[in-house]
């Protein structure tokens, strides 16, 4: 079991309740990363489902939980031959923090009937760059859990030279050797810096709603993340992310609505 597996494990209490422990190692300066929290929820959902894979997840982030004990409470809405639907709630100290609707199914290892091209092509991994190590007092522990190599133009905001477009692109893998799986993909779809950084905004950009789809089981190796936005308006922005595996297959897609950071 990897550190990520341990940090996302869900222990069954009964058929509708799972105990979890939210890990401080997935902090983004205080709040816990939304992709990590979704992975925790999905461990419980899949364990209770007759199907193996979380193919569609829509999560509403009501408030930010803190590291420590919590529970995932499940309500099965449908259990069919090809798909099951579950409502999952992350609860801490009796308060709901995330509400999610999850559809599970069992995916096969099949070639796609059709797929488009990636929205952008990254340079080779060796030509991409890492983010600088965060200062210890920043409490940005998430970065130590991941190995990310960024397409250099999309990091211009670090030197005060943003591209002016909402975009982010990087290679992704876990810092500890681990083949990607659906739970790693849940983390990956929310692992990029907010695309509004490249458009000139800064500060924590809290996710309000995030929907992602598991399209295929990923091959071992680097994942490629391509993030973009369509509209920044009135303090809100959207972010779309495509995740491609080392075999060149589209394995996940996400869209989130978030608030523009204030700092």
Rg (CA), the chain: 18
- Distances 17 to 43, 64, 68, 166 between C-alpha atoms, Å: 12, 20, 17, 39
pLDDT in tens, 31-89: 999 999 999 999 999 999 999 999 999 999 999 999 999 999 999 999 999 999 999 99
Angle at 141 between CA 251 and CA 156, to 5 degrees: 70
Question: What's this model's pTM, rounded to 2 decimal places?
Answer: 0.96
pLDDT in tens, 213-238: 999 999 999 999 999 999 999 999 99
pLDDT in tens, 103-137: 999 999 888 888 888 878 899 999 999 998 888 77
Q: What are the structure tokens assigned to 160, written together?
A: 């005060």
pLDDT in tens, 150-207: 999 999 999 999 999 999 999 999 999 999 999 999 999 999 999 999 999 988 899 9
């Amino acid at each position: 079991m990897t550190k990520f597996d341990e940090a996302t494990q869900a222990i069954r209490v009964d058929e509708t309740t799972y105990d979890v422990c939210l890990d401080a190692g997935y902090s983004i300066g205080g709040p816990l990363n939304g992709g990590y929290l979704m992975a925790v929820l999905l461990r419980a959902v899949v364990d209770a489902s007759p199907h193996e894979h979380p193919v569609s997840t829509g999560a509403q982030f009501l408030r930010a939980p803190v590291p420590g004990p919590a529970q995932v409470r499940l309500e099965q809405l449908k259990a069919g031959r090809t798909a099951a639907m579950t409502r999952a709630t992350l609860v801490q100290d009796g308060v709901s923090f995330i509400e999610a609707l999850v559809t599970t199914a069992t995916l096969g290892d099949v070639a796609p009937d059709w797929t488009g091209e990636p929205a952008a092509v990254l340079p080779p991994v060796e030509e991409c760059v890492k983010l600088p190590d965060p200062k210890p007092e920043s409490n940005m522990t998430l970065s130590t859990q991941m190995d990310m190599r960024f397409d250099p133009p999309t990091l211009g905001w670090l030197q005060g030279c943003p591209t002016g477009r909402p975009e982010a692109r990087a290679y992704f893998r876990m810092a500890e050797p681990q083949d990607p799986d659906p739970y790693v993909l849940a983390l990956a779809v929310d692992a990029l810096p907010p695309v509004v950084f490249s458009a000139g905004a800064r500060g924590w950009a809290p996710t309000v709603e995030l929907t992602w789809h598991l399209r295929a089981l990923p091959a071992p190796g680097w994942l490629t993340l391509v993030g973009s936005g369509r509209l920044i308006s009135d303090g809100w922005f959207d972010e779309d992310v495509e995740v491609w595996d080392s075999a060149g297959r589209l394995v996940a897609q996400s869209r989130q609505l978030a608030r523009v950071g204030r700092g």
